Chains A and B, each alone.
Chain A
Amino acid sequence: MRDPDFSAHTSTPEPLPVVEGGELEPSSEADSLRVLVSSVLAWVMPGLGHIANGRVMRGIVFAMIVLSLFLGGILLDGKVYRPEPGQPLTYLASVGAAGVGLPYVVAHQAGWNLGDIRSQSHEYGNTFTLVAGLLNLLIVLDAYDVAAGRR
């Protein structure tokens, strides 16, 4: 399968279609359902949104990096944040960590979310799990743009 990403042949990207007012014109092939499904897939499993849109290599790279970061955070005794009453910042952190999608749910169901505060690498682990979710939220936005024909 040809991957339109990481091509050595396209030296200059094609210009985006622009309408008056500077707004991007949606591609005629862009289907709102496809855009929605791609975005949801990208959130549920990192990289899946790009793979569904034919950006296989890019999707595999995203999946490997985000899942490695998330799993590495758990192995470093980091916690996977969940909302805790009376701790407002945990709500914010939970939104970030939940950005990783299905692995977030699996980690909580399997009991891997607690971490070990006594571990030297606890804070590193917290950062890894949190940033894995935040990176995947960026990847979801990128998958949205890819599905909408903007990239």
Chain B
Amino acid sequence: MHSHLLYMVAFAAAVGVVLGAMLRREAREAVRLAGWITLGMVGTALVLAWAMYFVSP
């Protein structure tokens, strides 16, 4: 069984954790940035997906 949403969240979380750990020194700040990046990527993807629904042929 393939869950596209799960793949997207896993991908966003992986990118978020790496960028968070790279760009912030403190653990709390790194976790916070990782969370924001993950949420931002997933949220943007969902918004774009719904936007494309309205422009679909």
Q: Which residues in A have some Cβ–Cβ distance to B below 8 Å?
A: 5-8, 10-11, 13, 58, 61-62, 65-66, 68-69, 72, 76, 120-121, 124, 127-128, 131, 135, 138-139, 142
Contacts and interface: CB of A to CB of B under 8 A. Distances in A.
Nearest to A136: B18
9 closest residue pairs by CB, A with B:
A6-B27, A124-B7, A120-B2, A69-B14, A135-B18, A65-B14, A142-B22, A61-B21, A121-B2
Contacts of B21: 5, 58, 61-62
B25 A65 contact: no
Nearest to A46: B18
B46 interface: no
B28 A8 contact: yes
B7 to A, nearest CB: 5
A interface, over-half SS: helix
B1 to A, nearest CB: 10
Given A131-B15, A138-B22, A6 B2 contact: no
B13 to A, nearest CB: 9
B37 interface: no
A141 B30 CA distance: 18
A10 B25 contact: yes
A142 B21 CA distance: 10
A7 B25 contact: yes
A80 B18 CA distance: 21
Contacts of B2: 120-121
Given A7-B26, A8-B26, A142-B22, A65 B17 contact: yes
Interface in B1-56: 2, 4, 7, 10-11, 14-15, 17-19, 21-22, 25-28, 30
A61 B31 CA distance: 12
A76 B4 CA distance: 11
A5 B25 CA distance: 6
Contacts of B4: 124
A121 B2 CA distance: 7
